[in-house]
Amino acid sequence: MEAERRALSQDREDRPTFQDLAREHLPRLYGLARRLAGDDAEDLVQEALMRGFRAFASLERAESAGAWLSAILLNSHRDRLRKEARSVREISMEEVDDFSLYRHIAEEDPYPYSDTLHADFLGLFDADDVHRVLDTLPPLYRAPLVLRYIEEYATKQIARVLDAPLGTILARLHRGRKLFERALWDYAEVTGLLEKEEVR
């Protein structure tokens, strides 16, 4: 028993400091925060670091620090979403269901001589453009979309992380996808991406 306690104590002394671990995982934390919170990314990472620092004693294995810090950041973001959910109305299915980006691209036919019309359209966007499009989505819908399709979480995991019923998450995912499709087209039009491609 005493030997175990000494070993545990030794492990704790040997393990990296919170600062060492946080520094190592800053790019991952910032990238996740950027996709979830857009321009508020730095603020969200700051909050997660402060929370992490206070809870550092609860981290049992330094190898789990990345997942642990990501979970803290997601909790911080979830708390922000909760506050926002009180003031933001849910978007109804009817408002978003009619739009299909696939059909819209085919109907507008921006590149009449292309055999790969839809792939060409997606090829217009660089990483910065996609971040800007994501930024236009209400956070309530952006979070499930980012977690499912960029972070590749399972839907049940998203429901757990965001502490919402699975049905709510599935409905928000559906609306988020539709809003994202429409936002991609609107962004391409407003920023002149479509015209630039035609000139090429």
Applying CB under 8 A, the residues found at the interface with another protein are 17-19, 22-23, 26-28, 30-32, 35, 41-42, 45-46, 49-50, 53, 97, 100-103, 118-119, 122, 125, 127, 130-131, 145, 148-152, 155, 170, 173-174, 177, 181
Q: How far is the CB of 108 from another protein (least distance, A)?
A: 14
Measured between alpha carbons, how far is 53 from 7 in angstroms, rounded to an integer?
24
Q: How far is the CB of 72 from another protein (least distance, A)?
A: 14
Nearer Cβ to another protein (119/199): 119
| Residue where the block lists tokens 């708390």 | 79
Measured between alpha carbons, how far is 35 from 41 in angstroms, rounded to an integer?
8
Measured between alpha carbons, how far is 132 from 71 in angstroms, rounded to an integer?
24
Nearer Cβ to another protein (138/144): 144
Q: How far is the CB of 40 from another protein (least distance, A)?
A: 12
Contact 155/170 with Cβ under 8 angstroms?
yes
For the chain, the helix, strand and coil percentages under 3-state DSSP, each to the nearest 5: 80, 0, 20
Going by C-alpha positions, the residue among 13, 30, 16 that lies closest to residue 63 is 16
Q: How far is the CB of 12 from another protein (least distance, A)?
A: 17
Nearer Cβ to another protein (81/134): 134
